[in-house]
Amino acid sequence: MTTRHRGRPRSFDRDTALEKALRAFWEHGYETTSIADLTRAMGIAAPSLYAAFGDKKTLFEEVVEVYVRRYGGFIGRALAEEPTARSAVGRVLREAAVEYTEPGRPPGCLVINAAVNAAPASAEVTEALRGMREENVHALTSRIRAGVEAGELPEETDAAALARFVGAVLQGMSQQARDGAGREELEAVAATAMRAWPGEGPENTL
């Protein structure tokens, strides 16, 4: 049952405006996107923005939630659905190459790139994104460790180190996407990275 509303109804669609804000933040980053940029992109005036979304930081937090749900799910899906650690990590890297260069979207990953050069005033946002990156590495570590325990990987495999390597490659791929690298180039980076997989011979492919 929808809650009935007393006063004047808002004249814009909240989800549409949020999506516009998402694109703006994704394209230009947290600090670089000003309230004026946001109101222009969202098609509303500043007081409407503040009434509907709170302040800039709160809006960004909501944007990140939507981003993770809509565009960041591929990592979790790959880790959950693939039968082996190797195929899971390979798919993460392969799909990242596609996701980071999808036409019609800003290149790269918002979580990786939106708050790199943040001022001390934005420390909370920076820290939140850093925490999410760390969570991703943790998820990779767990999946790899499970693979080791399942006997897919040598027992002496350092799961955390391998996961950190994969995280670094993802960050590098996102940066290169923002620098203009195309899908094929990133797929080549992903394929090369997979050659570092334990037990991998030189003739293996992704």
Determine contact, residues 114/25, Cβ cutoff 8 Å: yes
Which of the ranges 11-19, 40-48, 109-117, 144-152 carries the binding residues for a second copy, by CB under 8 A? 109-117
- Find the binder of a second copy among 49, 64, 92, 118 (CB under 8 A): 118
Nearer to a second copy, 146 or 188 (CB): 188
3-state helix, strand, coil in the chain (%, to 5): 65, 0, 35
- Find the binder of DNA among 2, 8, 104, 154 (CB under 7 A): 8
55-84 positions binding DNA, by CB under 7 A: 55-57
Which of the ranges 49-57, 69-77, 84-92, 116-124 carries the binding residues for a second copy, by CB under 8 A? 116-124
- Find the binder of DNA among 1, 2, 7, 202 (CB under 7 A): 7
- Find the binder of a second copy among 111, 140, 144, 181 (CB under 8 A): 181
Q: Is 185 in the site for a second copy (CB under 8 A)?
A: yes
| Amino acid residing at 184 | E
Contact set with a second copy (CB under 8 A): 28-32, 112-119, 130, 133-134, 154, 158, 161-162, 164-165, 167-173, 175-176, 178-181, 185, 188-189, 192-202
